[in-house]
Amino acid sequence: MARIGIIGAGSWGTALTHCLSENGHSCRVWSISQEEVDMINTFHEQKEKLPGVILPESVQATTDLAEAMSDRDALVLAVPSPFTRATAARMRPYCRFGQLIVSVAKGLEENSLMTLSEIIREEVPQSEVVVLCGPTHAEEVGAGLPTAIVAGSANERAAAYVQDLFMSDVMRVYTSTDVRGMEIGAALKNVIALAAGVADGLGYGDNTKALLITRGIAEITRLGVSAGARAETFAGLTGIGDLIVTCASMHSRNRRAGILIGQGKTAEEAMKEVRQVVEGVYSARAGLQMAEKYGVDAPIIRSANDVLFGGKSPAEATRQLMLRSRKAENGSEDLF
């Protein structure tokens, strides 16, 4: 049995708390919200963000970060990506040398273009960071439906340790050393999923969805390989696997927000209606900045930015995508 601190009590943090508790580990949860802490301690349930998933009575929540982190074998950092840096900075004083931090959010930091694990290592240099990501909706993980995920680290022993923490008869965990590829795929698939949702909101069909998924993974792979990742990573769970589930499922907050945008709402209105952080909105600018930095053609990401921040209508952005210059499907730009 391991002692785990879960930093963040949203839907994903709660689902992973349930998963770890089912595996026999001792879990302590931190939230910045006293309301969330009281909800978990009283009802053993995140009623707002993951209703129906009941946590064991042994799971206790606290707003005291030092208490949540005290004497823990591993820490699961599960706050939304825009809050990763600030939360990691708050964690620094309570982290011992070699403290294992499992990063489970998905995103890129605008302007710096740092991945979340890079941010954590910068803010908590004494830590050992493992990334955990893949096609894993919190609702299905919390319900105990069969799921696969990847634990990534250059330190293969650390990745294997995290693999053992989460592995069960309903959670299959693989390992990878291509952390950069995992994180780029995890972040940019949210931008493509927003575009897929916009297409749904416009009333487009399955053909359009297939177009966005296949050309989206080509775009992500071009960009990821140019940024130092391995091409094969994008053919796996953290690439095409995560992209498919996020583009296709109504569990996906990115797809749901995209549908609302396609129906005429602004990004701000869509995020307010979804009532959760829509990480694709925050990763869109960073994705475009990364494409420009590496000189990579990223038309879907660029079009998403035009709609989100440039005032272009979704229908016009689609038209411009469709009327781009003719090319072969597997031309030189797609030879990774």
- CA 141/CA 148 separation, integer angstroms: 10
What SS3 string covers 213-275? HHHHHHHHHHHHHHCCCCHHHHHCHHHHHHHHHHHHCCCCHHHHHHHHHHCCCCHHHHHHHHC
Sequence-separated (6 or more) residues with CB below 8 Å from residue 24: 1
Query: What single letter denotes the amino acid at residue 9?
Result: A
Cβ atoms 293, 301 nearer than 8 A: no
Nearest to 82 by CA among 177, 159, 190: 190
61 phi, psi to nearest 5 deg: -115, 155
Query: Which alpha helices (DSSP H) does the chain contain, by range?
Result: 11-22, 34-43, 65-69, 84-91, 116-123, 138-142, 156-166, 179-201, 206-226, 242-248, 253-262, 267-274, 279-294, 299-309, 314-322
- Tell me the sheet residues that pair with 176: 152
- CA 201/CA 293 separation, integer angstroms: 31
Positions annotated as catalytic residues are 189
Quick count: other Cβ atoms within 10 Å of Cβ 263?
15
